[in-house]
Amino acid sequence: MAVQWLLVVHGMMTLTVVISFLCGQWPIFKGTPFQWIHYFLTRGAYNYLLRFVGMVFGSKGTDVVLTVEQFCCNRPNPILQIIYIAIIGSVYFVIAKSSFIYIPGYYIGHIHKYTSFMAVVMGVILFLLTSFSDPGTVNAVNVSQYISAYPYDDIIYSEKECLTCRIPKPARSKHCSICNRCVARFDHHCGWMNNCIGERNTRYFMAFLFWHFLLCLYGAIAIGFILAGRVKELRVVHILTVYYGVENSIRNLAPRVLQWLAGTYNTQILLMVFLAIVSLLLAGFFAYHLKLCLTNTTTNETFKWREYISLRKKLSEAKASSAAGTPYCEQKKRKCFGLCGRSSAHDDDEAEAIVKRNMYDRGSFHNVSEIVFPLSSRPHTSCKSKPKSE
């Protein structure tokens, strides 16, 4: 039973750490252990490390740590790319070493030895395409083309100049401090790709996420079929019912079969759990970005809208308090105690209306086609067509 409990604890700890690290900052986890673990992993542990290094090695040691941080987090570097190659290569190697001996099996055919390899190769190809393709670099030569393709909405985007590149800044673009370039339709800088995700490589990024979700799901299901085949081939159910007198029902057989699998095929169980967890995380990440694509919004614009709406709410509250003769700080206190619920609901409706006036959202079909066929690559293309009607 020790092995089984070890597997359960390992799976729960892995799931908790991964969810906390990736999603702990989400509002739904506010005030929960997931938020605390996220803070410790992203800030707390690093702060303690700096203090420890400063105590042991002094300022020189701290400077070394800060230099490493600058290289790893604020400059283009291939560290996460190397880690990705190491992860996908090592996982595939362990699966091939531990599970391919059972292929073909009762429920899985010989062809899966080859389809699994081809699936991994396709994943690496999509990774390379996303990593090394141009995200849509804006320069003095093509800036007029991007300005024509993406007009200013005068809400979160207005005419201005990039202070670093010294060129006009097209709407939806952003200067990436890590890559030191302006990127059209900037979404985010992806450390795993060592590249920005922008107008010209969002399609590859989406394909990468979707394919790796399918790849992990395929691996988890394939290992599940292998294990089910071993149970069938070794007649485990027959042995348990005939020789051990176990009642032939799922309720009685399932715990004993799982116990036997965990003790005999613990490597395959660990791999299956790992792949299942990663596939769920990739599914959530892909669904989030798919929603952005369908509404023609970027991650960068999500934060911009959030800041804009927050500012509008504060201005609205300040005006309301001024008109009522109540200091803004006092009104904010009352709102916190739920005394201004009507005003809050009104502000939320107004904020929602602001979000829905996204002039770049022209309907799901046009939005997706803009991802697959970027506007700047089309002749005489502009986003000035009528936005999607409400």
Cα-based torsion angle of the residue sequence 195, 198, 199, 201 in order, rounded to the nearest 10 degrees: 40
Q: Which of 165, 190, 216, 383 is catalytic?
A: 190
Within 10 A of 83 (CB to CB), how many other CB atoms are there?
12
Q: What pLDDT is recorded for position 326? A: 61
Q: 200 vs 317, which has greater pLDDT?
A: 200
Half-sphere exposure of 138 (CA within 13 A, CB side): 31
* Per-residue model confidence (pLDDT) at position 251: 87
Question: Is 190 known to be catalytic?
Answer: yes
The span from the CA of 137 to the CA of 246, in Å, is: 67
Read off the pLDDT of residues 337-388 as tens digits, 9 standing for 90 and up: 343 444 444 544 554 444 457 899 999 999 999 999 998 887 765 555 455 5
DSSP 8-state symbol, 60: H
What confidence tens digit (pLDDT) does each residue in 294-344 have? 999 999 999 999 888 888 888 887 887 787 766 655 555 444 434 344 444
Confidence of residue 190 (pLDDT cuts 50, 70, 90): very high
pLDDT of the residue at 340: 41
Model pLDDT, residue 100: 95
- What is the structure's pLDDT at 71? 80
Q: What is the pLDDT of residue 15?
A: 76
The mean per-residue pLDDT over the stretch 176-194 comes to 94
pLDDT at 18: 75
User: Quick one: pLDDT at residue 320?
Assistant: 78
- Helix (H) or strand (E) holding 196, with range, is strand 195-197
pLDDT of residue 332: 52
For the chain, give the mean pLDDT.
85
Confidence (pLDDT) at 331: 53
- Cβ pair 100, 111 in contact under 8 A: no
The pLDDT value recorded for residue 12 is 78
Portion of the chain with pLDDT greater than 90, in percent = 51
Let me know: does 190 contact 209? Beta carbons within 8 Å: no
DSSP-assigned letter for residue 104: S
DSSP 8-state assignment for residue 176? E
Higher pLDDT, 326 or 88: 88
Segment 164-193 mean pLDDT = 94
Give pLDDT, residue 83: 92
Instruction: Return the number of other C-beta atoms located less than 10 Å from residue 120's C-beta.
Output: 19
What does the pLDDT read at residue 325? 66
Q: Give the integer Cα–Cα distance in Å for 366 and 373.
A: 10
Average pLDDT over residues 249-262: 88
Instruction: Find the mean pLDDT for residues 43-57.
Output: 87
Question: What pLDDT shows up at residue 345?
Answer: 47
**pLDDT given for residue 216 in this prediction:** 97
Q: Is the pLDDT of residue 255 over 70?
A: yes
- Closest of 265, 271, 251, 236 to residue 3, by C-alpha: 265
Mean pLDDT of 78-98: 94
Whether residue 95 contacts residue 271, with contact meaning beta carbons closer than 8 Å, is answered with yes
Q: What is the pLDDT of residues 104-149, one digit of tens each?
A: 999 999 999 999 999 999 999 999 999 999 999 999 999 999 999 9
pLDDT higher at 13 or 344: 13
Q: Is the pLDDT of residue 252 over 70?
A: yes
Give 257's contacts (C-beta < 8 A, 6+ positions apart): 231, 236, 237, 240
Q: How confident is the model at residue 66 (pLDDT cuts 50, 70, 90)?
A: confident
Q: Which amino acid is at 132?
A: F
Given this model, what pLDDT does residue 390 score?
A: 46
Residue 277 CA to its chain's centroid (Å) = 13
